[in-house]
Structure 1
């Protein structure tokens, strides 16, 4: 048996893209070349690695067993190829995924400090909601995830990371701003502007605030924090967001904080696949994250 790195690269890409066409485009190969490499790998292993469903290839149990090993071999190969190309103590590309609030307000400063500390400069950053970050970690498309949503997923290691504070905000002229000693009951029947399902920010609202309200209404569902801020600043409703995310809008007097008698603290989380190869670069980054504190200045 003589399995080639090209075959493993094709296998991993097909597992991630789920079609021969998409994998071929990503690898800059022809579709016949991708199909041939995958077929030869399956022949050598004497096992099918995917279930065929029309034009889609869904990785099966045999393929799932191979995926972390193939990912590790490709990572080691990449490290060897770049061993003498980088001045710092570690080599390789680090693929970081962050949910919206973390990715926009925290991760840029984390990467800044990591680069300054290690001289490693080859990182990518993918920002989406928590559910999408978890999906890409499961598919080995990302090395590490930094999210605000609590994750309970069997294939992912979850570690508590930084603390965050959530706040409820509204337009400066909203009727709620004129109520002294605001109570949660004063928020009954309010119009809420929320993030989409799969977002950690939405999860916080649904778990911590909405169960305490008998009636609330969703005015808008938006997939970016800035769009929510603008809608609230336009007087279209109230929202619950990270204090970090709305600081600039409060400073500009576009939004005001509502002081509520409820614990609004939450946790950021660090995630990685339990079978992900712990390269020196990934190990260094994970350790750095767990010791790091946010300092935007």
Structure 2
């Protein structure tokens, strides 16, 4: 069966007007084209949709059964046309945990104020999971905390982010100048491997220590903050993650004998991924 939307459109117009002549005028088609389309539709369905009464067409029980379903299909087709004319496709984003929890919510709030009803799917995990989702085309865009070196992925610098070493306010490390040896002797509570934050902390901070004492690896920044607050060790996370606790005095920054720990947050997409107008519009909201 190969019923077309055009056939259904002609059927509904004939039913409303009661004749092929008036329907052809409304649809800007010849009367023979309207009659042929209607005949073809009836042939495919194997039933008559109208009773021929003189020159008039009177809808019968088969036509009455088809009419509301035909209207529904035509309305959905119009919705689809409008959807893509306005470039309002669904957007799928995978963000690493720091970005997903502490950066993206403000961007989504700005986006939702202007586009409250457009579909948006956001997944949050670590940077490695975001990269794999982009590689598998499970998402349109990834937002991660470290560079991606996969040749199938395009990486674009996005935002700058500061990292902060911190401890409980009672820790002697927050009181004054700290040496690398003191940092190395402290019990460190770090994000899990595969996390963008962990990769950068390893490179910018831990690589400068003669050694370091690993206390725990945790897959959640909130868990790390609570562990540090209770005096279980020290850590290093994005300033965005601990800003509220620093201001409240429940966590304290460790003054490091190192240059400022600054990293770039990255936007990634598959090299073969088409960046639609809808996606680029969403990314403008992410740029603030």
- Give the structure-1-normalised TM-score: 0.66
What is the alpha-carbon distance in structure 1 between the residues aligned to residue 156 and residue 260 of structure 2?
Answer: 22
CA contact 2:97–2:124 (8 Å) conserved in 1 = yes
**Structure 2 counterpart of 1:108, from 74, 91, 105:** 105
What is the alpha-carbon distance in structure 2 between the residues aligned to residue 272 and residue 82 of structure 1?
Answer: 26
Alignment of 1:263-278 (within 5 A): 263-278=260-275
1:217 aligns with 2:213: yes
How far residue 122 of structure 1 moved from its aligned partner, in angstroms, is 1.1
1:257 aligns with 2:246: no
- Stretches of structure 1 lacking an aligned partner (at least 5 in a row): 1-78
Structure ID, larger Rg: 2
1:84 aligns with 2:68: no
Alignment of 1:165-204 (within 5 A): 165-178=162-175, 180-204=176-200
Cα distance, 1:248–1:288 mapped onto 2, change above 3 Å: closer
1:206 aligns with 2:202: yes
Cα distance, 1:80–1:286 mapped onto 2, change above 3 Å: farther
User: Residues 20-56 of structure 1, C-alpha deviation per residue, up to 9 Å, x if partnerless?
Assistant: xxxxxxxxxxxxxxxxxxxxxxxxxxxxxxxxxxxxx
3-state DSSP of counterpart to 1:188: helix
3-state DSSP of counterpart to 2:157: strand
What is the alpha-carbon distance in structure 1 between the residues aligned to residue 133 and residue 79 of structure 2?
Answer: 25
How far residue 109 of structure 1 moved from its aligned partner, in angstroms, is 1.0
Cα distance, 1:236–1:83 mapped onto 2, change above 3 Å: farther
User: Residues 1-20 of structure 1, C-alpha deviation per residue, up to 9 Å, x if partnerless?
Assistant: xxxxxxxxxxxxxxxxxxxx
- Stretches of structure 2 lacking an aligned partner (at least 5 in a row): 1-76
Name the structure 1 match of 2:24.
none
Name the structure 2 match of 1:247.
243
User: Residues 54-99 of structure 1, C-alpha deviation per residue, up to 9 Å, x if partnerless?
Assistant: xxxxxxxxxxxxxxxxxxxxxxxxx99644369x933121001100
What is the alpha-carbon distance in structure 1 between the residues aligned to residue 171 and residue 275 of structure 2?
Answer: 51
Name the structure 2 match of 1:234.
230
1:143 aligns with 2:140: yes
Alignment of 1:98-137 (within 5 A): 98-118=95-115, 121-137=118-134
What is the alpha-carbon distance in structure 2 between the residues aligned to residue 241 and residue 250 of structure 1?
Answer: 12
Moved more, 255-264 or 267-276: 255-264
CA contact 1:82–1:92 (8 Å) conserved in 2 = no
What is the alpha-carbon distance in structure 1 between the residues aligned to residue 209 and residue 284 of structure 2?
Answer: 41
Cα distance, 1:265–1:205 mapped onto 2, change above 3 Å: same
How far residue 170 of structure 1 moved from its aligned partner, in angstroms, is 0.2
Name the structure 2 match of 1:163.
160
How far residue 190 of structure 1 moved from its aligned partner, in angstroms, is 1.3
User: Residues 250-280 of structure 1, C-alpha deviation per residue, up to 9 Å, x if partnerless?
Assistant: 2232210112132211111011111013322
How far residue 287 of structure 1 moved from its aligned partner, in angstroms, is 4.5
Cα distance, 1:84–1:222 mapped onto 2, change above 3 Å: same
What is the alpha-carbon distance in structure 1 between the residues aligned to residue 143 and residue 79 of structure 2?
Answer: 28
CA contact 2:94–2:141 (8 Å) conserved in 1 = yes
Tell me how large the CA RMSD over aligned residues is.
2.3
What is the alpha-carbon distance in structure 1 between the residues aligned to residue 108 and residue 78 of structure 2?
Answer: 24
What is the alpha-carbon distance in structure 1 between the residues aligned to residue 78 and residue 194 of structure 2?
Answer: 37
How far residue 101 of structure 1 moved from its aligned partner, in angstroms, is 0.5
3-state DSSP of counterpart to 1:145: strand
